[in-house]
C-alpha cells in the first residue's frame, strides 16, 4: 500500500519501545495503571473543553455542529478560565501524589539544611 507523498503523514502515538520500559513506581502493573489513568484524565479534559465549547456556542445563539465546534475560536478570557479549570481538576485528581511529593521535597530540604549546619 503506497501513500501519496504529498499527503500529511498520519499521527503516531508516542510509545516507549525496547526491552526495558520506563519504571516509575517500582511496580510494572502500577506503572501501567498510572499510564492508563493519566491517558483517561487527558480524555476527560478534552471532553470538558468540548462541552465548554458547546456551552459557549449555545450562549452565542449558535448551533453546535461538528464544523462549528472545530472552527470555534476561544476568546482570551475563556482560554484563561479553561486553563484554571483544567489546573483545578488535575490538582483534585492528583492531590495525594502532589501532597506526597511536596512532603518529600520538604523533608529533603530539611535534611539538606541539617547536613549543612553540621
pTM passes above 0.85: no
Q: Where are the domains of the chain?
A: 28-92
Could you tell me the three cell numbers for 17? 519501545
Task: Name every residue whose Cβ is closer than 8 Å to that of residue 52 and which is 6 or more positions away in sequence.
Answer: 78, 82, 85
Residues in the chain: 118
What's the CA gap between 113 and 84, in Å, rounded? 35
Question: What digits encode the pLDDT tens for the residues 52-73?
Answer: 999 999 999 999 999 999 999 9
Q: For 27-56, what is each residue's pLDDT tens digit?
A: 788 888 988 999 999 999 999 999 999 999
| pLDDT band for position 4 (cuts 50, 70, 90) | low
pLDDT tens column, 79-93 = 999 999 999 999 999
Percent of the chain past pLDDT 90, that is, above it, reads 47
Amino acid at each position: 500500500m503506497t501513500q501519496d507523498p504529498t499527503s500529511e503523514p498520519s499521527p503516531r502515538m508516542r510509545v516507549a519501545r525496547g526491552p526495558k520500559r520506563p519504571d516509575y513506581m517500582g511496580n510494572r502493573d502500577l506503572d501501567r495503571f498510572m499510564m492508563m489513568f493519566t491517558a483517561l484524565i487527558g480524555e476527560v479534559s478534552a471532553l470538558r473543553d468540548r462541552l465548554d465549547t458547546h456551552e459557549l456556542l449555545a450562549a452565542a445563539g449558535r448551533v453546535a455542529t461538528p464544523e462549528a465546534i472545530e472552527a470555534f475560536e476561544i476568546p482570551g478570557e475563556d482560554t484563561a478560565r479553561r486553563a484554571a479549570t483544567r489546573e483545578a481538576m488535575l490538582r483534585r485528581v492528583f492531590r495525594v501524589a502532589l501532597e506526597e511529593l511536596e512532603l518529600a521535597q520538604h523533608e529533603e530540604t530539611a535534611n539538606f539544611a541539617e547536613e549543612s549546619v553540621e
